[in-house]
Structure 1
Amino acid sequence: MENVVFLEAYTTASSYKETSTIHIPIESFITYCIYKHCSPAEVSLRLVSVNDTEDGTSIVLEDEVHFVKDEVPWQVASCVYPVVMFQDTIITGLCAVARHICAHRSGHQNSLEHEEGLLGFRKSCLQAPNTVSIWTKFCEVDIIKTVKHILETDKLEEVPVNLVRFENHLKKPVKVHNVYKIVRDMKKESLKAAYESKDETNSNVKPDGEKPREAKNRKWKSNCKKRLEVDCSVKIEDLNISHQFAEGPFITLADLILLPTYHILIQAFGNTFETLLPLTHKWYQNIMNTLRENTLIDLLNKFPSKRLSVENVILPTTEDVSLYKSDPKRHNPKKRLFTKEDDIENALSSLSEGMEMNITKAEISHTINWDNIPDGAKPSGGYLPDKRVVRKTQQLENLALVVMNVAKEGDLIVDFCSGSGHLGILVAMLLPKCTVILLENKEQSLLRARERVHKMGVKNILFYQCNLDFFIGKFDIGIALHACGVASDLVLDKCLKANAKFVICPCCYGSLHVIDDLVYPRSSKFSSLTVEQYMCIGHAADQTHEDHPLTERGMRCMAAIDSDRARLAQEFDYEVTLSKLNFLSCTPKNNLLIGVPS
């Protein structure tokens, strides 16, 4: 299985053979539509039959589909579907899988696509993970939740907020790279079409033998050049370029992902949809006309329609913002919480005796002989500037030695938020009888890690391109070096759920914030603190710069937050150590949490 897309299905192979009807979740349906549209010759598709459920939808397929006959590879089973298994790399998440399919496309390119194809300029369409991109989250999470809600209800009293958000998005100025050049090109095509039409009309009335109008042609070219000029000082909203498609004037992968969901929605709403959401309906018609006589349209037309009762439905108001821009309700770490001194001191005074843990020194009796480590596994081989190499080397040595101390032969070790693989690659070299997973949601970072590993010929490393929440597999040790803010807590939760050992060096305490899966404080020991007090302490914990007058207080605040994390692990029956990295100067964020299940 060199390059396979795995989709979840609620139908068995034998049932499908008898009825030609398949029951699949919405994510599988969208992925299947994109697969059929792109026709990737190098990518095969397999359905994984799971327990039947009311979730999802049924559709009749005339073409042959293949089910997994044997056991699903464990690498695939450890992720949320859809999943791609591409050699030693696992890709999961709807947008990431769809991007992979597009990258191997063999189908015909539409004239209304960007010159670089469905992935757009620099192949960047939906590249950012949904944890940092509102647009990716909308396409991958929000709109899917809305469709599932529609499929589960019979009567609608209010238009789902996410539909209004997309309608507002289509009102906003187009945000694409080199928008002024695009406007010039559009003017050029318009003028060219107008001139050709006029020239064709004139040619029908010219007498034979008429002399060429060279002077007039030169004049036309001069006027044309003036008309093509675009003043780059003009505001984008005044350029008269609208959202013909979801991301602007070109059809992209985002349109293909959204189209099946909106097809379901429009079938459910009926004629009311155009009245309620006119711009969205126009966008839908644009795509349907653009892709007419296409395999994707044939699939959608087979989809069983459902009608809702939408009488007197209410259209709610939402923030009138583009989905490219930061939602005003979204936490923005750059907009720091500037607390007052009194707030911080009051929060610290609320820490009672027994809450904070003693910080111990990590007991490490040996060191790493870096002369025996290949250059590709050293920080200097991982695209780091020279001034950071020494400090990064010290950080890696601290964590790698602890991992070596708690690991045993055959362990599966996950380097969460691995970036370019500095820590995970070193651990794999030091523990050749263990398997290391580099888990990172940024495609380019993981590609750099993969390049390094392949150059060295290391065989005990796997690559997972996904968000933390898409990884659901069992493992033995979880490690994370400077996973920012809430990511350290998400890693901790993954380890606790898997009953795995953990070695975590947190950072970015000031960007902690409450999200759907996390509530602060984390432990019952710290429950007497309010969220506001906790965030004050987290904010002050970032004041640990060298020679800073507030460094000492910042270190205490940092220890308080990590004590709360350690207390949570203790509630899960873990033995936990809170220590400091050796070579404290290697980073101001030098706390180290080590946990071992009892």
Structure 2
Amino acid sequence: MDASIPGRYGFRRKAEQRQAALDRNWAEVSQLVEAVPRAPRPALAICWEELPKALDPAEGELDQGRAQRKRRQVESLAAYALAMLDPGAMVVEFGAGSGHLGLLVAYLAPSSHVILVEAKEYSCKVARARVENTGIGNCGVFQGTVDEFAGTGQDFGLALGLHTCGLLADAVLRLAQSRQAAVCLVPCCYGQVSSKENHHRGQGTELHMHPCSQAMAEVSFAWCAKAADFTPGKGGAFDAESPGFQTALRCMQVVDTDRLLFAQERSGYKGELGLLDPGCSPKCSVICLRPQEAAAREPAAEQKVR
């Protein structure tokens, strides 16, 4: 989409340009996006007070509202992950930070083994302390990038990521496909897919690689990717029914549909789009991908932790 769209007096104002570009973009891709299967949101009831204290993502310097939203983010994506997880599988969380998601999955699925992959030294130090404090024996920490972890040759069955930043989501998707692993992740920082800065995420990702699917090859993501980065109000709270957020959500799903279609075209994967619990995060699009031979498996039964 051209950055400038003619108006009555030459070129429209920027806001009008943006809306016109988004409208035209949606007209081009709406059928593709709406045809993608939607993953039903799995149920997972957690009584955080009864879990080891170090598992609680609300621990730390968070106000009550942010703490509750963080719990809901982790709980919601963990539910998707557990529904996709085969017993005894190796699980890798990329961009794990201090391990909120991966630790919870390791605790709830003790037959699995979870590796937290994180590039930042300080975050890895905190993650190791949390693993030790919880006494969880089926979780380890790897300090390094996606490419450095790939260099170990470690196979795994499920790749996880909560708010994988920009092209990091694409790097995780590509590594998972090369290992024929399932994927369950929530992307973030969509604007990076049209950024002029190379963030060096690895696995062959590069500037302006989107759209990467053949189905969307003629679509420009410049406006769409930027519009997906909805900014919430003060303190992180936002109205999930507001027009601004609904526009951002539609744009997130456009970019993530391109990711799903690319995986299907390149590796024969089957994909679905899901959503985190409403209102817990402005970045809430869940990508669920399974290798074709695993796609027909029944989802796990509803899980409850009291």
Same fold (TM over 0.5): yes
SS at match of 1:439: strand
Whole-Å separation in 1 of the counterparts to 2:175 and 2:63: 32
Other-structure match for 2:227: 540
By relative contact order (CA 8 Å, sep 6+), the higher-ranking structure is: 2
1:359 shift after superposition: 6.2
Whole-Å separation in 1 of the counterparts to 2:111 and 2:94: 20
- After TM superposition, the score normalised by the length of structure 1 is 0.41
| Structure 2 CA distance for partners of 1:366 and 1:443, relative to 1, 3 Å | closer
Other-structure match for 1:350: 28
1:402 aligns to 2:92 (yes or no) = no
The CA deviation string for residues 476-498 of structure 1, in whole angstroms up to 9 with x for no partner, is 10000001111111111111111
Whole-Å separation in 2 of the counterparts to 1:389 and 1:491: 27
The CA deviation string for residues 233-265 of structure 1, in whole angstroms up to 9 with x for no partner, is xxxxxxxxxxxxxxxxxxxxxxxxxxxxxxxxx
- After TM superposition, the score normalised by the length of structure 2 is 0.77
1:411 shift after superposition: 1.0
Other-structure match for 1:523: 213
Report the residue type matching 2:262 in the other structure.
L
1:491 aligns to 2:172 (yes or no) = yes
| Structure 2 CA distance for partners of 1:383 and 1:459, relative to 1, 3 Å | farther
What is the root-mean-square deviation in Å for CA atoms of aligned residues?
2.2
SS at match of 2:159: strand
Whole-Å separation in 2 of the counterparts to 1:539 and 1:556: 12
1:362 shift after superposition: 2.2
| Structure 2 CA distance for partners of 1:420 and 1:538, relative to 1, 3 Å | same
Other-structure match for 1:367: 45
1:370 shift after superposition: 2.8
1:595 aligns to 2:289 (yes or no) = yes
1:552 shift after superposition: 2.4
Task: Output aligned runs, 1:57-206, within 5 Å.
Answer: none
Matched pairs, number: 257
| Structure 2 CA distance for partners of 1:402 and 1:467, relative to 1, 3 Å | same
Whole-Å separation in 2 of the counterparts to 1:591 and 1:424: 19
1:436 shift after superposition: 0.6
The CA deviation string for residues 370-413 of structure 1, in whole angstroms up to 9 with x for no partner, is 34421111113366554421111111111112222221232110
* 8 Å contact kept, 2:98–2:123: yes
Task: Output aligned runs, 1:550-565, within 5 Å.
Answer: 550-565=244-259
The CA deviation string for residues 294-331 of structure 1, in whole angstroms up to 9 with x for no partner, is xxxxxxxxxxxxxxxxxxxxxxxxxxxxxxxxxxxxxx
**Which protein has the larger Cα radius of gyration, Structure 1 or Structure 2?**
1
- Deviates most, 549-558 or 491-500: 549-558
Other-structure match for 1:295: none
Other-structure match for 1:474: 155
Whole-Å separation in 1 of the counterparts to 2:262 and 2:222: 17
1:508 shift after superposition: 1.2
1:423 shift after superposition: 0.4
Whole-Å separation in 1 of the counterparts to 2:60 and 2:173: 26
Other-structure match for 1:317: none
SS at match of 1:587: coil
* 8 Å contact kept, 1:417–1:483: yes
Other-structure match for 2:106: 428
* 8 Å contact kept, 2:37–2:271: no
* 8 Å contact kept, 1:357–1:578: no
Other-structure match for 1:569: 263
Other-structure match for 1:502: 183
Other-structure match for 2:304: none
SS at match of 2:107: helix
Report the residue type matching 1:495 in the other structure.
A
Unaligned runs of 5+ in 2: 1-13, 199-203, 233-237, 293-306
1:360 shift after superposition: 2.8
Other-structure match for 2:127: 449
Report the residue type matching 1:469 in the other structure.
D
Whole-Å separation in 1 of the counterparts to 2:176 and 2:135: 29
SS at match of 2:288: strand
Whole-Å separation in 2 of the counterparts to 1:510 and 1:375: 35
SS at match of 2:98: coil
Whole-Å separation in 1 of the counterparts to 2:25 and 2:211: 13
* 8 Å contact kept, 2:176–2:183: yes
The CA deviation string for residues 93-150 of structure 1, in whole angstroms up to 9 with x for no partner, is xxxxxxxxxxxxxxxxxxxxxxxxxxxxxxxxxxxxxxxxxxxxxxxxxxxxxxxxxx
Report the residue type matching 1:543 in the other structure.
F
Matched residues, percent identical? Answer: 32
* 8 Å contact kept, 1:478–1:500: yes
- The answer to which structure has the higher strand fraction is 2
Whole-Å separation in 1 of the counterparts to 2:105 and 2:83: 11
SS at match of 1:524: coil
Other-structure match for 2:71: 393
- Deviates most, 403-412 or 488-497: 403-412
The CA deviation string for residues 21-67 of structure 1, in whole angstroms up to 9 with x for no partner, is xxxxxxxxxxxxxxxxxxxxxxxxxxxxxxxxxxxxxxxxxxxxxxx
Report the residue type matching 2:227 in the other structure.
A
1:587 shift after superposition: 0.7
Other-structure match for 2:137: 459
Report the residue type matching 1:592 in the other structure.
V
| Structure 2 CA distance for partners of 1:391 and 1:438, relative to 1, 3 Å | same
1:355 shift after superposition: 4.8
SS at match of 1:367: strand
Other-structure match for 1:284: none
Whole-Å separation in 1 of the counterparts to 2:182 and 2:224: 27
1:554 shift after superposition: 1.8
Report the residue type matching 1:517 in the other structure.
T
| Structure 2 CA distance for partners of 1:467 and 1:385, relative to 1, 3 Å | farther
Whole-Å separation in 2 of the counterparts to 1:523 and 1:397: 31
Whole-Å separation in 2 of the counterparts to 1:353 and 1:388: 36
* 8 Å contact kept, 1:417–1:440: yes
Other-structure match for 1:415: 93
| Structure 2 CA distance for partners of 1:382 and 1:470, relative to 1, 3 Å | farther
Whole-Å separation in 2 of the counterparts to 1:401 and 1:413: 14
